[in-house]
Amino acid sequence: MAVINNILQTNLNGLILKNPIMTASGTYGYADEYDDFINVENLGAIVTKAISLKPREGNKHTRIAETEAGMINSIGLENVGIEKFLKEKLPVLKEKNIDFIMNIAGSTQEEYTELAKICNENKIKAIELNVSCPNVKTGCIEFGVDEKALYNLVSEVRKNYKGYLIVKLTPNVTSIENIGIAAEKAGANAISAINTIKGMSIKLNYINGRFNKAVVQGGYSGIGIKPAALSAVSKLSKVVSIPIIGIGGIEKLNDILEFFAAGAQAIQIGTANFTHPDIAEKLIFELEEYILQNGFKDLNELKRELRI
Amino acid sequence: MIKDQIKKIYKAKIINTEKVSTNSYYIEIDCNKEIEAKAGQFVSIYCEGLTFRRPFSIFTNNKGKIGILYKERGKGTKYIKSLKKGESIDISGPLGNSFSIKNCKSLLIGAGIGTAPISFLKSKLENENIENIFIAGFLNKNEIPKLINPNIIYTDDGSFGKKGNVLSDTEEIIKKYKPEIIYGCGPEIVLKKISELGERYNIETQISLEKLMACSIGVCRGCVIDIKHGTKTVNASVCKDGPVFWGNEVIWQ
């Protein structure tokens, strides 16, 4: 297996990653679960499951469905809460030398502010603001679809948090460019795009004279959303100057190259982690090999050549 | 690189496939690595073109070899059925918790393809000389997989063994045999009844649940169920906290 050297090093305007491959929030837990499959410390970073001020139980049953090209989830941000995260999960990440970005989610601006303060006090190097979960009735998506509300929220978080601030955008808007511009103006260091697309799965089964109906309404992710994600990244890259982290349906090397072409500086792998729990690490090795085999000096040169 | 020893994902080789009833199949996989699976644990298999890996209870485990029994149900099992001896398969495991074996007189109940992990459990109990009876139920004679080893078989239509469902005589068996623990796997309705019987006769029950899974390792929280935890209700994932639960802790829907 190839040795990871610094040809993959990625500088996101201040946040330096060993490589541009991260794992998306909600698909990697708090990383310890993946120890059985890969050497997690090889990843550019893992983005934690969204963490809220208080623990959340999440939504009631039938939370997932498989679709023709991905999945629908309606988990509802089930998580351990920030107190338990800091006490139990953070020491494990640190001990194992895993680079991580903490994803945080609130229901009100006050909650986000409080979370930002706690992250600041605990010297969390980078956070990703979840302003775009489609599965929580009150709160975070409201911010993600309204540029003024988002501007105020990000400004408030910025005041209280000195580290690296990423804002994760929802595609469920008319103009993702305007939302991206608002995030940049309010002081975000980077944008990640996209979160899940609103989607629904209906599975019908006619048994003994009646229909059995399995319905899940929630966020659509997986290979099927890649075109929407590429479009969002490309549009954002034309209007903001902060780095963009591309997310949406990535499951092979070529997908990553396409995101670089669209203007992403780094990427996150989401749903594919479920299908192939070792995919993220594999893609790091594949990307490195691709650069070496094709005679590029480093990742930066490859990105320049790819850019459309 | 020491960590590679414990990596739980393998490109493995299919060493045997066999049709074992009208609609169920046996497949044996050589993981090329020592594996020590406990009864109740499962493996997940990648099925080409599908987002979710498919979970299967472990039926046999002999050093690096894992055997599973499956019923053809949908796209995933159709894909696995298409694979031939000698071909490669992407498998990960063993995953999940397991039956916690007690050294006491045991009643084992399996319904349908749920007989697979119960058969595995029976072989483990017998290795430890633990007294047990295994009762199994199927719709009809054609659905009985030929590799399982129950003591009593029920069929709904009476085409083989005793006529009736797997729980038809359970109360009498409990009264006569006086088991100190009951283990079960099968459709949820059967498991619910097993846990009710356990409560009625004051016998511990352990049941193995099945639920649609996305990650199968406890990350996505897609397969959670309600569990009693003291006076509180908490979420437990079937894939990591389970698939085996104490019958009296499950809150049935």
The CATH number that applies at residue B238 is 2.10.240.10
* H helices present in A27-107, as ranges: 82-84, 90-95
pLDDT digits (tens, 9 = 90+) for A87-128: 999 999 999 999 999 999 998 889 999 999 999 999 999 999
A5 pLDDT above the threshold of 70:
no
- Considering only the beta carbons, identify the residue of B6, B51, B240 that sits closest to A274: B51
The answer to whether position A1 is within a domain reads: no
CA distance B18 to B28: 9
| Same-domain check for residues B103 and B193 | yes
Instruction: Look up the CATH number of the domain holding residue B30.
Output: 2.40.30.10
Rounded to whole angstroms, the maximal C-alpha distance in chain A is 65
Give the pLDDT confidence of A166-206 residue by residue, as tens digits. Answer: 999 999 999 999 999 999 999 999 999 999 999 999 999 99
Neighbours of A84 (CB within 10 A): 13
Given A98, A133, A150, A232, the catalytic residue: A133
Whole-angstrom Cα distance, residue B148 to residue B116?
Answer: 7
- In chain A, % helix, strand, coil (3-state, to 5) comes to 40, 25, 35
Residue A219 lies in a domain: no
Spans of chain B, pLDDT less than 70:
1-6
A238-292 pLDDT, tens per residue?
Answer: 999 999 999 999 999 999 999 999 999 999 999 999 999 999 999 999 999 999 9
pLDDT at A140: 58
The count of structural domains within chain A is 1
* Higher-pLDDT residue of A142, B190: B190
Contacts of B247 (CB under 8 A, 6+ apart): B182, B184, B191, B194, B195, B198, B199, B204, B205, B206, B207
Looking at the predicted structure, is the pLDDT value of residue A139 above 60? no
With contact defined as beta carbons under 8 Å apart, do B91 and B29 qualify? yes
Chain A residue closest to B213 (CA)?
A64
Collapsing DSSP states into helix, strand and coil, what is residue A260? helix
Same domain assignment for residues B129 and B204: yes
Q: Cα dihedral angle (A78, A80, A82, A88), rounded to 10 degrees?
A: -150
Answer yes or no: do B151 and B176 share one domain.
yes
Residues B114, B34 share a domain: no
CA distances from residue B174 to A163, B135, B165, B168, B182 in whole angstroms, order as listed:
64, 12, 16, 12, 9
- Residues B54 and B90 grouped into a single domain: yes
Interface test with A, best of B9, B77, B216, B221 (most A CBs within 10 A): B221
> What residue of A is the nearest CA neighbor of B211?
A62
B23 and B74 fall within a common domain: yes
**CATH number for B149:** 3.40.50.80
The reply to whether omega before A141 is within 30° of 0 (cis) is no
Position B34 scores a pLDDT of: 86
Number of domains in chain B: 3
Positive/negative CA dihedral, B89, B94, B96, B102: positive
B202 and B227 Cβ atoms separated by less than 8 Å:
no
For residue A41, being part of any structural domain is answered with: yes
Q: Which domain holds residue B228?
A: 211-253
**Domain identity same for B86 and B109:** no
In this predicted structure, what is the pLDDT of residue A1? 43
Helix spans in A16-145 (H) = 82-84, 90-95, 109-121, 140-144
Indicate whether A138 pLDDT > 80. Answer: no
Q: Which two tokens stand for residue B67?
A: 């055997």
**Residue A2 reports pLDDT greater than 50:** no
What is d(CA A65, CA A168) in angstroms, rounded to the nearest whole number?
23
Residue A32 class from Cβ within 10 Å (0-12 exposed, 13-18 middle, 19+ buried)? Answer: middle
Residue with tokens 């608002």: A182
Is A70 within 8 Å of B51 when comparing Cβ atoms?
yes
Residue span of the structural domain in which A134 resides:
6-60+75-196+236-306
How far apart (Å, rounded) are the C-alpha atoms in residues B102 and A107?
47
Considering the domain architecture, whether residues B113 and B203 belong to the same structural domain is answered as: yes
Q: Mark which of B95, B119, B144 sits at the end of a domain.
A: B95
CA distance B26 to B67: 7
What phi and psi values does residue B234 have, to the nearest 5 degrees? -130, 165
For residue B21, what pLDDT is reported?
95
Best A64, A89, A136 member to test B by mutation, with max B CBs in 10 Å, is A64
Q: How confident is the model at residue A142 (pLDDT cuts 50, 70, 90)?
A: confident
Q: What pLDDT, on a 0 to 100 scale, did the predictor assign at position A135?
A: 56
In the residue annotation, A119 being an active-site residue is answered as no
pLDDT score, position A136: 58
Of the candidates B134, B138, B136, B114, the residue with the CA atom closest to the CA atom of residue B124? B134
Whether B118 and B197 map to the same domain: the answer is yes
Class of residue A241 by CB neighbours under 10 A (exposed 0-12, middle 13-18, buried 19+): exposed
Tell me the shortest Cα–Cα distance from B239 to chain A, in angstroms.
12
- Do A37 and B92 lie within an 8 Å CB cutoff? yes
The answer to whether residue A14 sits within a structural domain is yes
Structure tokens at B73: 């149900």
User: What residue has token string 């320049």?
Assistant: A304
Same domain, B7 and B72: yes
Residue A201 in any domain: the answer is: no
Cβ pair A277:B240 closer than 8 A: no
Closest C-alpha among A22, A13, A10, A17 to residue A279: A22
A223-A252-A249 Cα angle (round to 5): 20
B107's CB contacts (< 8 A; 6+ apart) are: B132, B133, B135, B170, B173, B174, B177, B179, B181, B182, B183, B203
- pLDDT for position A141: 62
CB A287 within 8 A of CB A296: no
* CATH number (domain holding residue A164): 3.20.20.70
Instruction: Report if residue A215 sits inside a domain.
Output: no
In a domain, A224, yes or no: no
**What is the C-alpha to C-alpha distance for residues B246 and B93, in angstroms, rounded to an integer?**
22
Tell me the average pLDDT across A293-305: 96
- Determine which of B5, B9, B51, B233 to mutate to test the interface with A (most A C-beta atoms within 10 Å): B51
Domain presence at residue A291:
yes
Judge residue B228's burial from the number of C-beta atoms within 10 Å of its C-beta, 0-12 exposed, 13-18 middle, 19 or more buried: middle
- Pair B31, B89 in one domain: yes
Cβ neighbours of residue B100 closer than 8 Å, sequence gap 6 or more: B206, B244
B224 and B193 share one domain: no
Cβ-based interface (< 8 Å): residues of B facing A: 3, 6-9, 46, 50-53, 90, 92, 212-225, 234-235, 240, 253
pLDDT the model gives residue B62: 92
